[in-house]
Amino acid sequence: MSEKWTVKGTIAVDHVLPELDAMLGTRSPLAGIQVKVSARSKIPFGWGTWAAWDTVTTGANGAFSVSKEKGSDRRQFKVEILYDSSKLRIKEGKETSLSIGGNGFPIDIDFDLTDKDWHEVHSDKDDDEERRAGVHDLGEILVTASVARKHGDIWILYNKVIDLMEDYGTEYIFKKKVVVKYPMSISPAASSSYWNPIDGRGHIKEDQFNAYTLLHELTHQWEYDHCTGENGMAWQLVKHGSTHQQRENTTFVPFLESFADFAAVKMLQEISGGSLKNFLQAAPYLKPDQPFSRTHIGGALEPEERNLANLDYTERGWYGLFTVLTFAYLDRVDVDRFFTDVDGEHRDYAFVSLFTPVHDLKLGFSFKDVLSLFLAKPSADIDRVITTQEMNYRAFLDRADRILPGMDATKVKAVKALLNPKAEAAAAA
Ligand SMILES: [Zn+2]
């Protein structure tokens, strides 16, 4: 005789990332993940083998339900989850060795994407449960295993960014399914997390599980989806892994790296609805929104190279430009003085007057505005996405002049004067 069996519950995770804990509270449901329910029947001397029933997707509240018409013998259930959707897949990595392939990236071990990453989150055998036909509500199932729990946080964090880009519009979306591996141990051990934009796969090192690294790396995929040019981005390994020369050989590498730092914190601010201004751990900048002081912005260059023409060869020069474009009170910024607060003087950052404007330039562009500088805008005669050849001050500010509302040649000149590491040259401009 056949009877109806139903197994249901909700899947949730307690956050590991302090940023998610601050934004969402201690615990969140895992929405949109795959849930597989398997059953086994009691047989004369124990239990039969597990047979998968159905795989379903959790709803917005993390809920799932699987029903079957089955015989009335005693059964046990187990529940497994998979972090997979049409947009995102999270995998447990293994060691990859850094031999570089023809595209400039490490040759990855090709993993089977179909059936390797299920995490068991509940099993009746652990409590010797014997169930009869009917409805079995397993209640809230917490994902507690260390890696699966961290995957839960990556799932929540990355889906928020994927949703944010969809909210911005179809031009802004990630163009391929994001696949990220954690933990990815990489040999030699001194190497760092990196993203291979060609196959859309990120690799996060075990000791770099933090929101800053996760969002910086994800930004590399977004950049790659919205620019053309340089493919061989093996420089990421050098850039992420160790100290490097301050004045670099190209302008596009410091541009893409600096933009990944800038976008990471802007993504955090946006997905938290403005409640988080900076990363709570591993923050690369003390004041991520604030323009640099004039002495700091050129400080990465040798004294004889410290001029505007060299600044776009440095990450600091690019980061300084992004903050000038977006800082809300730009007209109160004096780059020739240092920022001071209750903790004292911060010589990296420019002074901000509390009430009185010190010059006329106001910009205050949004994160979305800055992202738009990557995109085509036919109405402004920009018919293609940014190329790596345009990732220098002159070409990038030309795009800004044409794309950003209210921007003009006078303002571009004023921006350059704020960035110029030489005060005399800035005053003369
Ligand atoms: Zn990077």
Each residue's pLDDT tens digit, 373-386: 999 999 999 999 99
CA of 301 to the centre of ligand 1 (A): 21
Each residue's pLDDT tens digit, 263-298: 999 999 999 999 999 999 999 999 999 999 999 999
Each residue's pLDDT tens digit, 24-33: 999 999 999 9
- E strands in 197-248: 201-203, 227-228
Q: Is the pTM of this model over 0.85?
A: yes
Token pair 């449901």: residue: 29
- E strands in 150-304: 178-181, 186-187, 194-196, 201-203, 227-228
Share of the chain above pLDDT 90, in %: 77
Length of the chain equals 429
Each residue's pLDDT tens digit, 246-256: 778 889 989 99
Strand-pair partners of 246: none
CA of 163 to the centre of ligand 1 (A): 22
CA of 35 to the centre of ligand 1 (A): 33
CA of 400 to the centre of ligand 1 (A): 23
CA of 236 to the centre of ligand 1 (A): 6
The Cα 233–Cα 395 span in angstroms is 21
Position 199 scores a pLDDT of 75
Which is more confidently placed, 253 or 16? 16
Over residues 204-209, the mean pLDDT reads 91
The CA-based angle 120-124-130, given to 5 degrees, is 160
Over residues 333-362, the mean pLDDT reads 94
Share of the chain above pLDDT 70, in %: 89
CA distances from 405 to 371, 396, 401 (A): 13, 15, 8
Q: Give the side-chain half-sphere CA count within 13 A for 236.
A: 31
Strand-pair partners of 194: 203
User: Which of helix, strand or coil describes residue 32?
Assistant: coil
**Any idea which of 33-47, 91-105, 143-157 has the lowest mean pLDDT?**
91-105
CA of 217 to the centre of ligand 1 (A): 6
Position 136 scores a pLDDT of 97
Q: What are the structural domains of the chain?
A: 2-83+101-144 (2.60.40.10), 244-429 (no CATH)
CA of 69 to the centre of ligand 1 (A): 52
